[in-house]
Amino acid sequence: MNRRELLKSAGAVAAGAAMLPFLKTNAWAQSAGTAVVLIGNTINSLDIHRPGTNRPSYQVAVNVYDRLVTFGTKKLADGSLSYDYDKVEPELAESWQISSDRKAILFKLKPNATFWDGTPVTAEDVKWSFDRALALGGFPRVQMGAGGFVDPAQFVVVDSKTFRVDLKQPSKLALPNLGVPVAVIINSKVARANATDKDPWATEYLHRTPAGSGAFKVERWEPGQQLVYARNDKWVGGPLPGVQRVIIREVPATATRRAMVERGDAHLSFQIPNKDAQELAAAKKVKVVGSPIDNCLYVACLNYNFEPFKDPKVRQAVAYAIPYEQIFKQAAYGRGVPMWGAKSAKPATAAWPQKFPYDTDLKKAQALLAQTKYKGGFEVPLSYDLGEADWGEPAALLIQESLGKIGIKVTLDKVPGANWRTVALVEKKLPFLLENFGGWLNTADYYFYWAYIKGNLFNASNYDDPAVAKLVEETLHMEKSDKSYDAKIKQLIQKAFDDVPRIPLWQPTLDSAMSPKLQGYEFWFHRQVDARSYKLV
């Protein structure tokens, strides 16, 4: 598909959107106690620990489960609300104490915290849930490891309402890591009752039937269509949500989502395309909120398992052939922070993310390619997630066109959103892909931990460098105030500049459009719907 065909296709979708039935959503939108939220991706599981659970499903962990801690709220310059990474607050924990050597955290649970079935939340439930995250492996285990939690023996039940985590070393990430979506507390009694010898952690049961204590219960789930939350009026993890019910509608067509929020058939269209954000903000019919995503980059990943990309000069040639400015205008619509064109090949500071020292220079790209055995060019598929096609498709088309000018023939591979995580991140089999990882914990070393360490989920490039692994190990738990911290982070960034397994395109914003009737919308690092603060006026 070329750009002309893309525009025709977009026009056809927009024309058809006005004629699509709204499946009774409008009636819900008129209900004072029900918020209607539109998303473009598919929720494939209600269990964040289950192998293969995709990113859109993380919202379930946020809304129906509790964690020991959460993050505070701050007001941004434009008046919108955002989580506050620097302010950790209680959720299921009433209080906590950190030992003098910073190698243990003792939590007191809220005495009145109960699961939906009325049973008390206990320290045994906390331990079982954390043990489960480690036992099921994959993403949950690595995420727990980011906070220094790698062994079930670290999770200690002191008494029914007192829980302790022991650390092998002090870590700046330990406490905040217990506030991320993976660190959910599950009703272990319900889960164990539905476990089997072949499935001791009840993954099949919890896949469709959550057992939590969170602000909402799952009233109904129709995969590929909608998820309905009903408020848990006995929630003690925070202020009671201002809506009684939330309908999460899956509407893949961006034009349809836009039409629905403009017509008042939905209260919120979550994570809208940058183009829509630009136009809707100008029209002023609905409110548009756009927050820069901390520790997040939209990138082109070059897989080291693909023979030509094993050569650093080939990777650098690709980096110089990327049409950054065009992509930023046509895929991001100028919303976000450019990540190309640094004046120096050395990092100016330890700030992350920061601009990389590449810009569009086809002569330099051709010269680098000419120094390799691929001077005649090669063919490679460029893959992108159809669930992220609003930016992925125009970016892929522009990259295809530009790389063709230096002899690299790019074919486009569109991967359905429900399959993306498996083929791109778990199996890591795509040679060349567009990805958008954002680190939940806002430090540079945390980003490198996930995206530059061999085997970790978001290292879709299969990058493996002993020096980088050593630097990440040294900095991950180190306090930022340590005198050697900045120097080590600069070394990490320098390796990213030189080896360029991931080519940053831009740092994005998360844009959402909403009715004036919806209040309490808050941006969160996990980039998923958090309906707990919503209210309708």
Mean pLDDT of 317-337: 96
The mean pLDDT of 379-407, rounded to a whole number, is: 96
Residue scoring higher pLDDT (22 or 272): 272
Residue 29: the pLDDT is 55
Sign of the dihedral defined by the CA atoms of residues 224, 386, 427, 271, in that order: negative
Cβ atoms of 531 and 232 within 8 Å: the answer is: no
> Which pLDDT band, with edges at 50, 70 and 90, does 322 fall under?
very high
pLDDT of residue 78: 87
- DSSP E strands, 374-508: 378-385, 408-415, 432-435, 502-507
pLDDT score of 21 more than 70: no
User: What average pLDDT does the segment 155-161 reach?
Assistant: 98
Residue 8 has pLDDT above 50, yes or no: no
Per DSSP, the residues of 171-186 read: -TTHHHHTTSTTS-B-
Query: What's the whole-number average pLDDT of the chain?
Result: 93
Q: How many CB atoms lie within 10 A of CB 79?
A: 7
CA angle 281, 416, 452 (to 5 degrees): 85
Model pLDDT, residue 1: 45
The pLDDT value given to residue 30: 55
At what angle are helices 466-475 and 444-451 packed, to 10 degrees? 140
Residue 215: phi and psi, rounded to 5, are -65, -25
Range in 112-116, 209-213, 215-219, 422-426 the model is least confident about? 422-426
Residue 30 has a CB neighbour count (10 Å cut-off) of: 11
Dmax over CA atoms of the chain, in Å, equals 70
For 284-376, where are the alpha helices, taking DSSP H only? Answer: 312-321, 324-330, 362-370
Query: Residue 17 — pLDDT band, cuts 50, 70, 90?
Result: very low
According to DSSP, the residues that pair with 163 across neighbouring strands are 107, 157
CB atoms within 10 A of CB 169: 12
Question: Taking 90 as the threshold, does the pLDDT of residue 235 lie above it?
Answer: yes
pLDDT, tens digit (0-9, with 9 covering 90-100), for 124-143: 999 999 999 999 999 999 99
Residues 73-79 have a mean pLDDT of 91
56: closest CA among 532, 453, 436, 335?
A: 436
Q: What is the pLDDT of residues 24-49, one digit of tens each?
A: 555 555 567 999 999 998 999 999 99
- pLDDT for 5 equals 43
pLDDT at residue 99 above 80? yes
Q: Which residues contact 414 (CB under 8 A, 6 or more apart)?
A: 383, 384, 386, 389, 393
Is the pLDDT at 145 greater than 90, yes or no? yes
Better-predicted residue by pLDDT, 19 or 456: 456
What does the pLDDT look like over 342-371, one tens digit per residue? Answer: 999 999 899 999 999 999 999 999 999 999
Each residue's pLDDT tens digit, 171-207: 999 999 999 999 999 999 999 999 999 999 999 999 9
Confidence (pLDDT) at 517? 94
What pLDDT was estimated at residue 25? Answer: 52
